[in-house]
Amino acid sequence: MYEENEKPAAVVKDLYQQKDKMYVATDCIIFGFDSGNLKLLIFKRRVAPLQGEWSLIGSFLKLEEDVSAAAKRVLEEITGLKDVYMEELKVYGAADRDPGYRCISVGQYALIRLNDYDRELVKEHGAEWHDVDKLPTLVLDHDLMVQDALEKLKQKARFKPIGIELLPEKFTIPQLQSVYEAIFQKELDARNFRKKVLSHDLLVKLEEKDKLGSKRGAFLYKFDHRRYDQLTRNGYDFGIW
Amino acid sequence: MYEENEKPAAVVKDLYQQKDKMYVATDCIIFGFDSGNLKLLIFKRRVAPLQGEWSLIGSFLKLEEDVSAAAKRVLEEITGLKDVYMEELKVYGAADRDPGYRCISVGQYALIRLNDYDRELVKEHGAEWHDVDKLPTLVLDHDLMVQDALEKLKQKARFKPIGIELLPEKFTIPQLQSVYEAIFQKELDARNFRKKVLSHDLLVKLEEKDKLGSKRGAFLYKFDHRRYDQLTRNGYDFGIW
DNA sequence: TACATTAATTTTTAATATCCAAAAAAAATG
DNA sequence: CATTTTTTTTGGATATTAAAAATTAATGTA
């Protein structure tokens, strides 16, 4: 959870018992999507305690740093990405959640486009993408964080078009459907899905086709952010979009 | 925000600049409901800084205390109530949110039955109920917290029957409608409302009538918590209940 | 005892979501 | 180049839910 270079000075003195001081950390639940599966970016801790165990990627909060900025910093350090969709999940504040520190952690989840990230950086940090349904056990309460994030993702996806955050700028309807099937963990009817997502006029059909995903090829679309902003300003209400 | 007796020792030394240390606090957005209006419990700070200004009720987090426990503690100290509906709202973590401290605050909102609370205690603490649409300006980012809480309440009320948390155990359908109208900030159709809330078989009709609210009198109902638990365990999904 | 007020039920209508199958386009195969 | 295979794409009938209107019931008050 704590990157070596971000540990508070006190940590260096006594690694295992810093219970006399309040620490604040943030942990990132970083989702990606590839070939039908939701993926999570995790890494093997390289420092004690809990060295070698799988963990979410996080950091202590710096004194002069906004909580949301801390998550963005972590994300950029690991993936090289700025301007990522990111949202607060929940505070993990049990007094005994971390045996080493009295530390509360702000869970924040992010949605990443798997084409964009910096593969070198990720490798350097020992981070890896894992299918969310084949995750190893994570340290501390990180398993719980992941469960909570998946649940929140389901809820959120019903009313906000966050699925597009996991796809490249141009995408096909079948690809989008595949994202939602992964989030909701169930199959959707292709006809109804297409009808619904197109009904809001939020997808702009392009000339090009994507020929990689299938033989026939499907038309590419892009998301009309401008129109979306207009609609939401007027309190528009989506049901699965 | 900080009750006198809960200030960390350091606060006493220099009241206005404790930026070298991370503090964690919680602030409670406490809602009640009376005669058609949502109410908020706030108080006038009796200690510097910001003495005399209106504020949410909060406290610093103790070292050995869960975050959720801190909010419960605050709530009991002020209202005498335990077992109150309470949920995390959001973390307020801007580095400059508090001019005196480097302090992040966990906003937590609570729903109170206005009959139950301890009026003496509330008065002792200088706390008062105010209509949410006639609030004075609050300290720090507390205005934002209230806005966020109202928004969250709207969202939540669409899928969870939290309206009942604001009413006594026995209540009438028109009363319940009135609660939802206050939350959603719009009028609802009485016929459709009744049909919808009764459709889930979550309200148990009683023999008695409430004669205070109208001439004819309306039947009292109570909420069937057992059935609700069953339904939600099986992943039942309400749309406005 | 007529009148006003609110509660409660029933019916009708409109809107929305759900269900289902067949045709068209392109590539792969022989 | 005819045939098969795969995947995209499209529409209409049906069920479900929400909105609106009209009606009846109970009670207090003028």
Q: Best of B11, B21, B22, B151 to disrupt the A interface by mutation (most A CBs within 10 Å)?
A: B22
Query: What's the predicted TM-score (pTM) here?
Result: 0.90
pLDDT of A16 reads 56
The answer to whether the CB atoms of A93 and B61 lie below 8 A apart is: yes
Nearest to B188 by CA among B169, B175, B201: B175
Residue A231: the pLDDT is 87
CB–CB of B63 and A22 under 8 A? Answer: yes
A24: nearest CA partner in chain B: B22
- Give B60: exposed, middle or buried? Use CB within 10 Å, 0-12, 13-18, 19+: buried
Q: Which nucleotides of C are covered by protein (CB under 7 A)?
A: 4-11, 16-21, 24-28
> Residue A2 and residue A141: Cα distance in Å, rounded?
14
pLDDT at B214: 85
Cα B204 off chain centre by: 25
For residues B202 and B161, is the Cβ–Cβ distance under 8 A?
yes
Q: Which two tokens stand for residue A198?
A: 């197109």
Binary contact (B68, A93; C-beta < 8 A):
yes
Question: In this structure, is the CB of residue A205 within 7 Å of any atom belonging to strand D?
Answer: no
Residue extents of the structural domains in chain A: 12-157, 162-233
Is residue A129 within 8 A of residue A123, CB to CB? The reply is no
Pick from A22-26, A98-102, B233-237: least confident: B233-237
Q: Give CA–CA dist A84/A118, Å, rounded.
A: 13
Query: What confidence score (pLDDT) does residue A6 get?
Result: 44
A199 CA to D12 C1' distance (Å): 17
* Cα A103 to Cα A46, A106, B199, distances in angstroms: 20, 10, 45
Q: pLDDT at residue A5 above 60?
A: no
pLDDT at A10 (0 to 100) = 43
A-chain residue closest to B19, CA distance? A63
Q: How far is the CA of B31 from the C1' of C7 (A)?
A: 28
Contact A20 B65 (CB under 8 A): no
CA of B86, closest CA in chain A: separation in Å?
14
Least confident of A13-17, A105-109, B208-212: A13-17
Give the C-alpha distances (Å, rounded to integers) separating A174 from A114, A168, A192, A212, A218. Answer: 17, 13, 12, 12, 8
Percent pLDDT > 90 in chain A is 76
Q: What pLDDT sits at residue A212? A: 84
Instruction: Identify which has the larger pLDDT, A134 or B239.
Output: A134
Quick check: A184 CB within 7 A of strand D?
no
Q: What is the pLDDT of residue B173?
A: 96
- Edge-first strand listing for the sheet containing A218-223: A171-172, A218-223, A203-210
> By a Cβ cutoff of 8 Å, what residues of chain B touch chain A?
19-24, 61, 63-69, 88, 90-91, 93-95, 102, 104, 106
Residues of A at the B interface (Cβ-Cβ below 8 Å)? 19-24, 61, 63-69, 88, 90-91, 93-95, 102, 104, 106
**Given this model, what pLDDT does residue A144 score?**
98
**Long-range contacts made by residues A132-135, C-beta under 8 angstroms, separation at least 24?**
A132/A31, A132/A37, A132/A38, A132/A39, A132/A40, A133/A37, A133/A38, A135/A40, A135/A42, A135/A54
Q: Which pLDDT score is estimated for B211?
A: 84
Q: For tokens 């009683």, what's the residue?
A: B206
* Residue A22 distance to chain B (closest CA, Å): 7
Positions in chain B short of pLDDT 50: 1-14
The pLDDT, as a whole number, for residue B220 is 96
Asked if B236 and B197 count as a contact pair (C-beta separation under 8 A), the reply is: no
Paired tokens of B192: 């459709």
Please give the Cα distance from A91 to B91 (Å, whole number). Answer: 7
Footprint of strand C on the protein (CB under 7 A): A 189-192, 195, 211, 215-217, 239; B 172-174, 190-191, 194-195, 209, 213-219
Rg (C-alpha) for chain A, rounded Å, is 20
Chain B residues near residue A102 by CB distance under 8 angstroms: 63-64
Mean pLDDT across the stretch A46-73?
94
Q: Which amino acid is at B117?
A: Y
Rounded average pLDDT over A45-67: 92
User: Residue A88: which of A76, A73, A72, A65 has the closest Cα?
Assistant: A72
Distance, CA of B192 to C1' of C11, in Å: 14
Find the Å distance, CA of residue A215 to C1' of nucleotide C29. 14
Give me the pLDDT at residue B240, please.
Answer: 66
Spanning CA of B95 to C1' of C17, the rounded length in angstroms is 47
Per the model's pLDDT, the better-predicted residue between A239 and B32 turns out to be B32
SS3 of chain A: the string is CCCHHHCCHHHHHCCCCEEEEEEEEEEEEEEEEECCEEEEEEEECCCCCCCCCEECEEEECCCCCCHHHHHHHHHHHHHCCCCCEEEEEEEECCCCCCCCEEEEEEEEEEECCCCCCCHHHHHHCCEEEEEHHHCCCCCCCHHHHHHHHHHHHHHHHCCCCHHHHHCCCCEEHHHHHHHHHHHHCCCCCHHHHHHHHHHCCCEEEEEEEECCCCCCCEEEEEECHHHHHHHHHCCCCCCCC
pLDDT attached to residue B14: 47
Q: In this predicted model, what pLDDT tens digit does every residue of A160-213 receive, in sequence order? A: 999 999 999 999 999 999 999 999 999 999 999 999 999 999 999 999 888 888
Residue–nucleotide distance: B206 CA to D23 C1' (Å): 25
CATH tag for A162-233 (out of 1.10.10.10, 3.30.70.100, 1.10.3720.10, 3.40.50.80): 1.10.10.10
Chain B residues within an 8 Å CB radius of A88? 90-91
Q: How far is A209 from chain B (nearest CA, A)?
A: 38
Nearest Cβ partner for A91 among B19, B22, B106: B106
Let me know the angle formed at the C-alpha of A211 by A208 and A215, rounded to the nearest 5 degrees.
135
- Domains A12-157 and A162-233 are alike in CATH topology: no
> Under CATH, to which class is A12-157 assigned?
alpha beta
Nearest-Cα distance to chain B for A235, in Å, is 12
Note the pLDDT tens digit of each residue in B115-131. Answer: 899 888 999 999 999 99
